[in-house]
Amino acid sequence: MTSTVAPAGLRPGGATAARTAGMEGPVARIETILLATDASSASGAATLHAIDLAARLDAQLVVLTVLSTADRDRPARESGSSAASRREARTLAVQQVVERARAEGARATSLVWDGEPGEAIVDAADAEHADLIVVGSHERSTVGRFFLGSVSDYVVRHAKAPVMVVRPSAFALAAPPIAGDPGIPGLR
């Protein structure tokens, strides 16, 4: 008898899907999805994907935003807003995602972390025992990624759990932005 080994970071689930796919043994079940969002339009498609997956899979959705150390320490005169107001805006944005997810039938919670975004996402995924990490991509060119760095690239290279990187164009027409929205299409 052969058995299928679940990929690292995933917990075994039912065997029905494996038999349907022609495999024997348990299949990994996604129980916790970590959505990393910066509340920008680039993370809107990732947000919609994560909510849909969490609802369909009956998985817990953990919505994470990270306030970068550099952004947190930047004086208000440079950014036009204080660190406290930036934190408040991000907290509100992730709460809107949680509310949307719950309205769609998903179980959802939110987290706001401080630190370097890539490292914080990987650490939060470990702390929350995430089975899948969903991040957005800014669709930069190869040269742009080389010079600017990329949070999604960092997460893909360092996370223990599988990572789904969603391009903004994935849901470009799915949900138009709502007036007053901080940048995530379709959120209220």
Q: Which whole number is the average pLDDT over 12-18?
A: 43
- Residue reference for tokens 């058995």: 3
* pLDDT tens column, 116-159: 999 999 999 999 999 999 998 876 655 544 433 488 899 999 99
CATH no. for 35-170: 3.40.50.620
Q: Could you tell me which residues are beta bridge partners of residue 65?
A: 112
- Taking the C-alpha atoms of residue 82 and residue 74, their distance in angstroms, rounded to an integer, is 8
The per-residue pLDDT for range 57-83, each reduced to its tens digit, is 999 999 999 998 776 566 544 556 788
Neighbouring C-beta atoms of residue 119, cutoff 10 Å: 15
Which segment of 34-43, 69-78, 102-111 scores lowest on mean pLDDT?
69-78
